[in-house]
Amino acid sequence: MAPAGLWLALTALYAVFLWWYGGRGRPLSTAEIEAGLRTLAERNQDRQGQALLQDLRDLLAQDDGREFVMQNLVRYRTRAAYPPGHSYGDDPRAADRRYARAILWPLLRRACVLVFVARRNGRFIDPPGAEAWHYVAMVRYRSRRDFLHFALEIERGDIVMHKWAAIETTHVFPVRPLLSLFPVRSAVLVLLALLGLAAGLLTG
């Protein structure tokens, strides 16, 4: 059996993980929402930017402090559309890969993780006027507060430029899982328990 000190360390590590992973926090205040939107408005003066800010305001106003998953349906442009003065090329998929690499750390530092991504693989039921999406992606956010901070960070670093260079149209909306076959908290608990048992076998 593993020494008591190891079990204590693993328990502390799990407690730190639960604190980092979060999922049940304090809802955003009106002052926080308005401050974040003012900062974003300074960098989004065009009509599209103002429409996005209104959508963001509506999203943040629904905050209950809990985790959620953002569903993203994406269709690429025929050619990447970077602002004048940038020489990244015109491949929209390359632009999207730049965006994906750039957002990795801003997401992970806030315990926000990619849950699922898949390319479209055929057609089935297509309502009239339905978009021909290229892929679907689902990202878990610890809270709407973290979503707001993430949005502020990628705007400051011009990271979001790669996203809009790549994407012709997108449909994005929050969801809350009713059933998940991959419970992250339980999986980490089991992993740490297995580590403790393995250490016990090796030292015993």
Same domain, 82 and 160: yes
Same domain, 123 and 204: no
What residues make up the domain containing 13? 1-25+183-204
**Of 10-24, 136-150, 174-188, which range is least confident?**
174-188
Q: What is the number of structural domains in the chain? A: 2
Counted residue by residue, the chain has a size of 204
Taking the C-alpha atoms of residue 203 and residue 195, their distance in angstroms, rounded to an integer, is 12
Same domain, 35 and 17: no
Taking the C-alpha atoms of residue 156 and residue 168, their distance in angstroms, rounded to an integer, is 22
Taking the C-alpha atoms of residue 62 and residue 142, their distance in angstroms, rounded to an integer, is 15
Same domain, 78 and 178: yes
- Per-residue pLDDT for 175 more than 90? yes
Same domain, 67 and 150: yes
Single out the residue of 143, 135, 130 nearest to residue 117, CA to CA: 135
Determine contact, residues 147/73, Cβ cutoff 8 Å.
no
Same domain, 40 and 139: yes
Determine contact, residues 98/116, Cβ cutoff 8 Å.
no
Taking the C-alpha atoms of residue 144 and residue 160, their distance in angstroms, rounded to an integer, is 18
Same domain, 103 and 63: yes
Same domain, 57 and 154: yes
Q: Is 24 helix (H, G, I), strand (E, B) or coil?
A: strand
At 47 the pLDDT is 67
Same domain, 126 and 196: no
Single out the residue of 36, 44, 39, 50 nearest to residue 146, CA to CA: 36
Instruction: Kindly report the CATH number assigned to the domain that includes residue 155.
Output: 3.30.70.100
- Per-residue pLDDT for 1 more than 60? no
Global confidence as pTM:
0.89
Taking the C-alpha atoms of residue 14 and residue 193, their distance in angstroms, rounded to an integer, is 10
Same domain, 43 and 12: no
- Residues 45-93 have pLDDT tens digits of 776 778 889 999 999 999 999 999 999 999 999 999 999 988 899 999 9
Taking the C-alpha atoms of residue 24 and residue 26, their distance in angstroms, rounded to an integer, is 7
- Residues 82-137 have pLDDT tens digits of 999 888 999 999 999 999 999 999 999 999 999 999 999 998 998 898 899 999 99
Residue type, 150: F
Same domain, 201 and 171: no
Same domain, 33 and 98: yes
Single out the residue of 28, 31, 47 nearest to residue 144, CA to CA: 28
